[in-house]
Structure 1
């Protein structure tokens, strides 16, 4: 995202880590993103948000900074011995395979039958039992919108996730969705991806649910979180189940750009301490 107000192009990184119950560790990782290896502070990098889910034991950190300095993924292979990574999206050149496709190829969803010795990572020689396999991808912009339905019936959640998934007929463009048990309910977890080509103008109702923004003069669109929430609420009601909450993990592109500009102008690297997670 070009940012004339701070004089450079901004990049955003959603860093997912398998830790949420030890907040001191999560914050140490966040602070490490603000420093170079010798320990010098990066004045133009900021951690905008930390979203931690105790039940999943997972945290998502929203990092932002100039494209030239946001090199955390590249440095990871040098700073952490024995780590291994696979690429997806625009980082996966020239194929540009998406995250779902790469995970299926790696047998990601079948942990009980995961044969690490047969996996050839894009970076690293072998998959370490200690560090596992890390995915690194690039896209115009992606955020997470998670809607919770008030049931313990995972089958209902899976049907709803399938109905909103963009790859399926009648689904929502740019949406990748899965259903998970979560604190006695079921969460429909949606990755919201951006795309360039406009929906057909004949589909007037759906086209009004997309929001546009620009990267270097090129228009990109995404399905609005409010519309995602509305569609899942309707599908859940068809099963006689209410929704009980929606969490936007991270920010919309516009909100992210504005907060990143503010944080960088003020030299505030630990911006997450000011900001609480947005819950719709």
Structure 2
């Protein structure tokens, strides 16, 4: 095949597969390195459209959408006492990743306490493509490796899906990443399903959604400092709100108001214990 014909074929394939496709990945991870037998599993979604891609937790997205719809419906009805008690929140992965085409600019959206961040990714993945091939699911795939965010990663990509994208922030290989894992095998993504999205699907950035507090835009260096500050003092934002006069009322299962000071102490201990357990996060260099 001539080079020009091959490029036309490749671009045609990219355009075909970029028309509103949803790729579902199974993400298995260990959050606490001292308890490697406790493997968490979450289904993650990579939505791909001509404008770009969006990677997020399926369960958390559905719970968040339900909460927003319920809030809007009750507020529209004039209800000032919003009741969200009937909503059962699912999904533990609260972040999302967006890549804007064609330059693959990566933005990472996450929350620390009550603050929501958009982290502009400036790092690159310098892939080394290896000759080994392996079948992953229905696709013949090829091996590639790179160092990223404090971990060594192995990816399996397939040119049968000519999209230079993949789970999380990973991209840049000559085909979709269908499997990805770090050398410790405590973070693994594997493609489990493909679905064509309706033509009416509209790619919208998380930065444009309605929110009550402004989105904080930072680079990786500033986010790393914010993340360290949060780990050292996870209740800082709540204390600042209370210092500004905010009244935080918490009730127990019977509806009785809980003593705010006791509640704060209990919540602080719970959050600190939780942060301490999160010693095997995906971007391991954030802990350095």
TM-score (norm 1): 0.23
Q: Which protein shows a greater Rg?
A: 2
TM norm structure 2? 0.22
